[in-house]
Every structure is written in C-alpha cells, then in structure tokens.
Amino acid sequence: MWKYRTMAAETDPAEHARYVASLAGDPGAVLTKLDAPAGLIPCGALLRTCALDELPQLFNVLRGEMSLVGPRPDVLEAGEYRPWQRRRFDVVPGISGLWQVSGKNELTFDEMLELDVQYVEQRSLWLDLSILLRTVPVVLCRGNR
C-alpha cells in the first residue's frame, strides 16, 4: 500500500506488529495508536494530523488494490484472526471505513472487527456514501482532540 512514511527509516516495523498483536489478544484494550514521537520524521506529526499520509493510497484505489471505503489494511496475517473475523478480507481494503467513523481510537480490537464484518455484510452504495460523508468531519476534527 502506498503511504507517506512518517516514521524514521530505522524504526523497526515489527514493534508495531507486536503492538497490534497484543491488542488483538486483549479483549478490553482500546485501539490507540502506537506513536513514538522520537521515531517520527520532521513534519511526521503534521502529516498524520492532517491525514496527508493517507493521500498516496489514492494510487492504490486507482490501481484497484484498495477502495475508498472498506476495512483498513492490517499488519496481522489472516491466520491470526478467528474464523468470523476473517470476513473482513471478503472485500478490498479501504482508505476509510465504518470503524474510522464510529469511534476509531475509542474502540477495542474486537469492536473494530465487528464493524468491519458489519460493513462486509451490509455493504451498499448508500453505506459507502454515508461513510465518506462522515469521514470528512472525522478527519477535520482529528487534530482538535
């Protein structure tokens, strides 16, 4: 997936994968971002706050590898999910999704997956349009939280 890199090149990506795996194993853990300010490149925080680091993913949409709406790409392997959770892979990943507009960093890993599966089961043009419209204020207000 295309994305602006906001972490320094020497930052170990395995640390993020371990963090996500620990959240997946703790049903009560809220999905907060693992942000190591020391590991951010100059202007990295600004790119993230303004969601500019997501813009290159539009190339993935144009190439058909992503959609504007769908479950976010993840760092865990499909085998690390329980069978019902794997339904999230029935659709192409998206830049925004039901999780992003329904609480995002206030929800648990299982709640995120429940929203992903709900999206897969209820997917429609109207749901996609609703999510896209709800994405705009979420992104604009993100820096104010």
CA 11 to CA 25: how far, in whole Å? 24
| pLDDT at residue 145, rounded to an integer | 43
Question: pTM value?
Answer: 0.77
CA 31 to CA 8: how far, in whole Å? 22
CB crowding 53-86: b at 16 or more within 10 Å, else e? bbeebeebeeeeebbbbbbbebeeeeeebeeebe
Residue 144 has pLDDT above 50, yes or no: no
In tens, the pLDDT along 65-75 reads 999 999 988 77
Instruction: Give the tokens for residue 128.
Output: 């996609």
CA 49 to CA 75: how far, in whole Å? 21
Q: What's the whole-number mean pLDDT along residues 5-29?
A: 74
User: Are the C-beta atoms of 94 and 77 separated by less than 8 Å?
Assistant: no
User: Are the C-beta atoms of 74 and 50 separated by less than 8 Å?
Assistant: no
Q: Which residues are CB-neighbours of 11 under 8 A, at least 6 positions away?
A: 36, 39
- Spell out the domain ranges in the chain: 13-142
| pLDDT at residue 52, rounded to an integer | 72
